[in-house]
Structure 1
Amino acid sequence: MTTLLLLVSIAEDHKALLHERFRVIDAPDAPRRAAAIAAHADEIELVLTNGATGFRADEIAALPRLKLLAAQGAGYENLDVAAARARGIPVCNGAGTNDDCVADHTLALLLASVRALPQQGAAVRAGLWRDALPLYPQFGGRRLGIVGLGGIGRKIARRAEAFGMVIGYHNRRPRDDAGTATWFDSPLSLAAWADDLVVATPGGAGTKHLVNAAVLQALGPGGHVVNIARGSCVDTEALAAALRAGAIAGAALDVYEGEPSPPQALLGLDNVILTPHVAGWSPQAIRATVVNFIANVDALARGDALLTPV
């Protein structure tokens, strides 16, 4: 039976799909990961990780029988793809498997932030009624800027359009499949146009602090920022400063720099919503990532092209 090194934690019913096909070595933390590689280096043929957990060049070099390196979700920023390719080892990801889940979560975060749902809940618990509270805007007619109009970004756009929002986006170049969405040549110009900003771009060095102090200032005091991409895409200190100064109205983050440790600079702010990097997690989405991984393994065994190659 083919040996799989599993570096991510998944529910037992989804893991059962892997146990049906592979000999699974569970190593969801650094000590077990190092021990598994040391003890089973000559046996491991498959590695399933994710973008945040990654897989290093020295680890790739330690596995002489490695046939496939896979990321569970769409992100693969901490997988050493170059080292794998240098060895002729194919790399795949889970592109598309959790797009709907992420898009759903994004709209939930945006609605909660714009409509101040946590603050309103706290007010009710404190004995306040609506006459004592500010009015919060509805979505219809608001301009949503999406930084990164890939598969997830397009699904976010379609959901936002159903709420009557007007869509703009920033990619390195315009997309032919962007529909009525307007392209902007920089995050700064997008933020200056938008009422709210969603970050849905890939992580990595090229997008580090793409949303910075200048972008937040351009968004303005009524604006809300949602990040479901990677924590590194938003400058945390600049975001905290903008929120404290009232330069923007609110933020809702599923990802942040230094996770899983919470972003200390944001914890004391009541106009920040935080979720623990779960935008892409649902029973349906996780099952889809596992099924997609198995399908990629099967395609490799047949000599066919991978379904979701990196």
Structure 2
Amino acid sequence: MQRLLITRRLPDRVLDAARARFDVTLRDRTAVLAPEELRAALRDYDAVLPTLGDRFQAAVFADVPQPRAKLLANFGVGYNHIDAEAAKAAGIAVTNTPGAVTDATADIALGLILMTARRLGEGERLLRAGKWEGWGPVQMLGTHVTGKRLGVIGMGRIGKAIAKRCHYGFDMEVVFYNRSPVADPGLPARQVGMEEAMAADFVVIAVPGGKATHHLIDAAALGMMRPQGIFVNISRGDVVDEAALVEALQKGRIAGAGLDVYEFEPKVPAALTGMENVTLLPHLGTACLEVREAMGMMAVANLIAWAEGKALPNHVNP
């Protein structure tokens, strides 16, 4: 029976499925794998089920020239913490869990739009602090969402799901930027240049993480936004130059931001936590039991296919 390392606790249903087929070692800690743990994982196990933050980078593979591990079955659609090219060169396949995360992540994007535009987090903090003095006609006036323009950066599965919710649910006009042409966005939407998409009333980042999108949203991109624009990121933290975002918010160049991911998770700059016009969530994009179970079962299916010598259902091609 092949030895499998699972780097973080997963739902019981997933663990039971994995244990039925593999000799499982569960690392029951929240912290990401430390440098030596990364190298030991490649040396001591036939396969690894890692997740966000477990940084299997080129230096790790270089330190283990003949790894025992032959598969990294990532728990999550994003795999920018894994150098897939270096893994391939080391003879290790990489899989992910696409599809299972789409709707849950899109829902969080809508939540961030509404929370930031309508000042919902700020309002709840006011009430819980006992500072609410009663209803008033000009109390906590926010930004109307219905009928506004949405700019989506990255029109993949998640980007399309966000656009669908905004257009059909809130009658929003949708424009989007995508590196390659999108023949069918699945709803009335226009593919435009980066500058026009960033100039929408609400801008949502939905690109995959990785080298190609690192700091895609930098000071120049944020400078394309309107002063009344609201910025939302549900992709990966390092897609955004966090320092540039903080500066844009501090100087009033944009109206607000809703964030579920951060460049140096779990660290969040004090400058962000101190702003009332910023909604901050602790990476809750896929935090539903049904979704996490589906992700885990997809990862286990990839592992079983590998163990049986079959084609990997969700093979990542670097």
TM-score after normalising by structure 2 = 0.87
Of residues 177, 180, 184, the one that matches 1:170 is: 177
Query: 8 Å contact 1:145–1:198 — kept in the other structure?
Result: yes
Structure 2 alignment gaps of length 5 or more: none
User: Are residues 39 and 167 of structure 1, via their aligned partners in 2, closer, same or farther at CA, if it must alter by over 3 Å?
Assistant: closer
User: Are residues 157 and 40 of structure 1, via their aligned partners in 2, closer, same or farther at CA, if it must alter by over 3 Å?
Assistant: closer
User: Equivalents in 2 of 1:189, 1:158: separation in Å?
Assistant: 19
Count of matched residue positions in the alignment of Structure 1 and Structure 2: 307
Q: Equivalent residue for 2:43?
A: 41
Q: Equivalent residue for 1:273?
A: 279
Structure 1 alignment gaps of length 5 or more: none
User: Equivalents in 2 of 1:206, 1:175: separation in Å?
Assistant: 18
Q: Equivalent residue for 1:73?
A: 76
Query: Deviation string for 1:105-155 (max 9, x for gaps)?
Result: 111111111111122334444123232414333322111111111111111
Query: 8 Å contact 1:115–1:137 — kept in the other structure?
Result: yes
User: Equivalents in 2 of 1:127, 1:258: separation in Å?
Assistant: 35
- Alignment partner of 2:191: what SS? strand
Q: Equivalent residue for 1:261?
A: 267
User: Are residues 167 and 66 of structure 1, via their aligned partners in 2, closer, same or farther at CA, if it must alter by over 3 Å?
Assistant: same
Of residues 289, 293, 300, the one that matches 2:295 is: 289
1:232 aligns to 2:234 (yes or no): no
1:7 aligns to 2:13 (yes or no): no
1:159 aligns to 2:165 (yes or no): yes
Q: Equivalent residue for 2:104?
A: 101
Q: Show the 5 A alignment for 1:146-225.
A: 146-161=152-167, 162-179=169-186, 180-186=188-194, 188-192=195-199, 194-225=200-231
Of residues 66, 82, 85, the one that matches 1:82 is: 85
Percent identical: 38
Q: Choose between structure 1 and 2 for higher RCO, CA contacts under 8 A separated by at least 6 residues.
A: 2
1:23 aligns to 2:28 (yes or no): no
User: Equivalents in 2 of 1:195, 1:256: separation in Å?
Assistant: 22
1:135 aligns to 2:141 (yes or no): yes
Query: 8 Å contact 1:257–1:263 — kept in the other structure?
Result: no
Shift of 1:240: 1.7
- Give the root-mean-square deviation of aligned CA atoms: 2.4
- Alignment partner of 1:219: what SS? coil
